[in-house]
Chains A and B, each alone.
Chain A
Amino acid sequence: MIYAVAKIIAKKRDKIRLSPNQRRLAQILAGGAVYAAAILINADSVALKSALYLAALAAVGGSIIFAALRGILRGEIFDEHFLMSIAAVGAFIIGEQSEGVAVMLFYQIGELFQSWAVGRSRKSIAELMDIRPDYANVKRGDTVERVDPGDVEVGELIVIRPGERVPLDAEVVEGRSMLDTAALTGESVPREVLPGDSILSGSINAGGLLVARATKPFGESTASRILDLVENASAKKSRPERFITRFARYYTPAVVLLAAFIATLPPLLIPGASFADWVYRALTFLVISCPCALVISVPLSFFGGIGGASRAGILVKGGNYLEALAKAETVAIDKTGTLTKGVFSVQKIVPRGVTELELLELAAHAEIYSTHPIAQSLRQAYGAEPDGARVSDVEEVPGCGVTAMVDGRRIAAGNARLMARLGVDHDDASAEPGTVVYVAEGGRYIGYIMIADALKGDATAAVDGLRKAGVKNIVMLTGDAQNIAERVATRLGIARVRAELLPDQKVSAVEELMGELSASGRLVFVGDGINDAPVLARADVGVAMGGLGSDAAIEAADVVIMNDEPSKLAVVIKIARRTMRVAGQNILFSLGVKGLILLLGALGVATMWAAVFADVGVALIAILNSLRTLKRVN
């Protein structure tokens, strides 16, 4: 009879084209109406009441029972449909018809909400990952064709119109425009691009028409690589995720086994125990035997965390790295290229008796032929090409500096040793956090220029943010001289510095720091991804900066900060902590409520429908809770 009804419903299902959720809603409404009728009708005729209950069960749960039967044919006995069906049908058999219908009704309502919540999460995730270009305009001969981005070959010319997404990594050939890279870096300020600049797939043309030459095939372009990483991140599971997967495998059989014991043992062993009463208690167990809430909400929390991070321009390659980031106790930061811009430039000009410009002009001209990086940054700061006709008698003083005639004035530019050699009195600028060039004219001191690797704008905020996020140890690693490193560290408020490290010594420095960690603490290393692949690999979590456009960095690191802001590190640590917190809440809450229902059910206190209601409610709350991980972090 039930099988026949199920068959009819299955047949109908193919005829009427409804979405699974609409179908479910229809079942709930129809079943609910008949159920209400069955309860309200005057119980003159027991047969009529029973018939109505049966009709309600068929309407609301027919498809579940049908799916259960199909499951049995496949040998799937611990299938949730099967267990719900046994619970409902069992309730009917022991005379609890109303309960049997209620179980199915609440189960279906729960499934509907769950499916809605999952759909919503999938949508938010799809929005996050909305960087995949749908098409490319290729210039072939005289025509522009719209093709699949995968069909574009390296070297072909592509046209990107205003408002369109850049389909492949390319180099601008014609046109100038503003590019919106927010989807890649989380930064909303558009970047100007000119012919010769490289542009990355996934960014949006916010200005004029661009013609560009594809430099990478679609599959290796930035947008595809980012999507690959985020989608595959679920393969590297955190401990809570692994626990849930394992737990889910054993939970259902264990609960079913318990139910079997409860149904059979007490009636046999306890004198006077009613069989129907204990079967009822056993059926209550079956009703909550599905581990779905946990199985969805925990991975969803981690996926949300990874998604939220990628929206902030941070790629996290797996839930396990979020877990480790949340336990960050020591953060080792590379100085050059991470906290500083990695480019030497004039930071300070202190003239004595001349103007700033004059001082810079004289120094730049004196250093006109020098290939030293210091000389280069002097010339760069000067802004124009020094005029060779104004310079004569250039003489390098090895290890000290240079002397030259500029506009007929005898100029000396160099370090304190040069000044001492010339017998010139000068400021003591040895406390400056960089290299100092003193300048003298004739025998007269006319000021100094300080050249340093400039700190990034958010370097201080980055260090503060880490401390506020609860990172105990912040250590700066650098290959630079001790005194320069220490001055930079002091300015940023970093207490520990390991300076003058060769690249391979950074690995042993990180190993030493890892030796100091507490049992649950983790070490995070942040570098610019250039030359520090071994350190990135050695640390518990290797974070590379400025990953956008740098394949090596994306490859080597566990976490990639797409732009070059070190302050994003504190952001990802906060996201990681929140993710772990939410996952933990979900596990505790779901397990706690299930445990409570099992206990109350065994004692005969919880009714079947209350058990379903609680179980479904927990599932929903856990799913909604996990959606919080998608939110932005301040």
Chain B
Amino acid sequence: MTRRFKLVGLDCPVCASKIERAVKAIDGVASANVNFLTERLTVEFSGDLPEKFADALKAAIRKANPDISVRSA
């Protein structure tokens, strides 16, 4: 299962790879890919959507850069 998100305010490419790594580390995530140019985060899950994934995602992004907010796309 795959979900896509929009990262609003993604200005720095280093943050993009930081977010990518942080999201990959969330339980139940098989792969995560941030496209810096389209400000798009694509997350692939190994099974169903993990419980409380939205919170874990927000926390991961806040840690990388608090100026970035996430929206579903």
Kindly list chain A residues whose C-beta atoms are within 8 Å of the C-beta of B12: 80, 292
Q: Does A248 contact B (CB under 8 A)?
A: yes
Does A303 interact with chain B (Cβ within 8 Å)?
Answer: yes
B36 adjacent to A296 (CB under 8 Å): yes
Question: CA A433 – CA B48 in complex, angstroms?
Answer: 58
**Residue A245 lies at the interface, judged by CB distance under 8 Å to chain B:** yes
| Segment at the interface with B among A115-123, A159-167, A434-442, A542-550 | A115-123
Query: Do B13 and A121 have beta carbons less than 8 Å apart?
Result: no
Residues of B within 8 A of A249 (CB): 17
Whether, in the assembled complex, A290 has its beta carbon less than 8 Å from a beta carbon of chain B, the answer is yes
A295 CB-CB contact with B under 8 Å: yes
Q: Decide if A484 is an interface residue (CB 8 Å cutoff).
A: no
**List of B residues within 8 angstroms of A295 by Cβ:** 13-14, 17
Contacts of A291 in B (CB 8 A): 14
**Pairwise interchain contact A300-B14, C-beta atoms closer than 8 A:** no
Residues of chain A with a CB closer than 8 A to B33's CB: 232, 234-235
Total residue contacts A-B, CB cutoff 8 A: 53
Specify the chain B residue showing the minimal Cβ separation from A227.
Answer: B38
- Interface contact A299-B14, CB-CB below 8 Å: no
Residues on A with beta carbons closer than 8 Å to the beta carbon of B40:
231
Query: Using Cβ atoms and an 8 Å threshold, which residues of chain B touch A300?
Result: 37
Q: Does B71 contact A (CB under 8 A)?
A: no
> Contact string, A107-126, partner B, CB cutoff 8 A, digits 1/0?
00000000100100110010
Q: Does A390 have its Cβ within 8 Å of any Cβ on chain B?
A: no
Interface of A is mostly: helix
Q: Are B35 and A290 in contact (CB under 8 A)?
A: no
CB-contacts of B18-59 with A (<8 A): 31, 33, 35-40, 42
Please measure, in the bound complex, the distance between the C-alpha atom of A115 and the C-alpha atom of B37, giving whole angstroms. Answer: 12
Give chain A interface residues in 10-35, CB to chain B under 8 Å: 20
Is B38's CB under 8 angstroms from A231's CB?
yes
> Complex: how many Å from CA A300 to CA B36?
9
A74 interface contact, C-beta 8 A? yes
Residue of B nearest to A67 (CB): B67
Contact across chains for B17 and A245 when beta carbons are under 8 A apart: yes
Q: Which residues on B sit within 8 Å (CB–CB) of A292?
A: 12-14
A348 at the interface (CB under 8 A from B): no
Q: How many residues of A contact B (CB 8 A)?
A: 26
Nearest CB in chain A: distance from B5 CB, A = 12
Chain B residues lying within 8 Å of A234, measured Cβ to Cβ, are: 33, 35-37
A284-327 interface (Cβ within 8 A of B):
290-292, 295-296, 299-300, 303
Q: Are A299 and B37 in contact (CB under 8 A)?
A: yes
How long is the Cα–Cα vector from A166 to B35 in the complex, in angstroms?
A: 27
Assess the B63–A74 pair: CB atoms within 8 A.
Answer: yes
**Is A417 an interface position by the 8 A CB rule?**
no
A7 at the binding interface (Cβ < 8 Å): no
Is A70 interfacial (CB 8 A cutoff)? yes
How far is the CB of B29 from the nearest CB of chain A, in Å?
14
| C-alpha gap A249/B13 in the complex (Å) | 12
Contact B42 A232 (CB under 8 A): yes
Which residues on A sit within 8 Å (CB–CB) of B62?
A: 74
Q: A231-B40, A232-B42, A235-B42 in contact; A80/B14 too (CB < 8 A)?
A: yes
Of chain B, the residue at the smallest CB distance from A236 is B33
Choice from A74, A80, A245, A303 contacting B37 with Cβ under 8 Å: A303
Which of A80, A231, A303 has the most chain B CB atoms inside 10 A of its CB? A231
Are B42 and A299 interface neighbours, CB within 8 A?
Answer: no
Q: Which residues of A contact B39 (CB under 8 A)?
A: 122
Q: With A74-B63, A231-B35, A299-B36 in contact, is A115–B42 under 8 Å at CB? A: no
Q: Is the CB of B66 within 8 A of A296?
A: no
Bound-complex Cα distance A245 to B16 (A): 10
| B38 pairs with A125, CB closer than 8 A | yes
In the complex, what residues of B have CB within 8 A of residue A232's CB?
33, 35, 42
Residues of the A chain whose Cβ atoms lie less than 8 Å from the Cβ of B17: 245, 248-249, 295
Report the minimum CB–CB distance from B61 to chain A (whole Å).
Answer: 12
Residues of A with C-beta under 8 A to B63: 74, 76
- B66 & A70 in contact (Cβ 8 Å cutoff): yes
User: Nearest chain-A residue to B21 (Cβ)?
Assistant: A249
Listed by A's residue number, 15 A-B pairs whose Cβ atoms lie within 8 Å are: A115-B11, A118-B37, A121-B37, A122-B37, A231-B40, A232-B35, A234-B35, A235-B42, A249-B17, A295-B14, A295-B17, A296-B36, A299-B13, A300-B37, A303-B37
- 6 additional A-B pairs beyond A121-B37, A299-B13, beta carbons within 8 Å, are A80-B14, A122-B38, A245-B17, A295-B14, A300-B37, A303-B35
Residues of B participating in the A interface, judged by any CB pair closer than 8 Å: 9, 11-14, 17, 31, 33, 35-40, 42, 62-63, 66
Which A positions have Cβ atoms within 8 angstroms of B? 20, 70, 74, 76, 80, 115, 118, 121-122, 125, 129, 231-232, 234-235, 245, 248-249, 290-292, 295-296, 299-300, 303
Closest 8 CB pairs of A and B: A295-B13, A235-B33, A234-B35, A296-B13, A303-B37, A231-B38, A74-B63, A125-B37
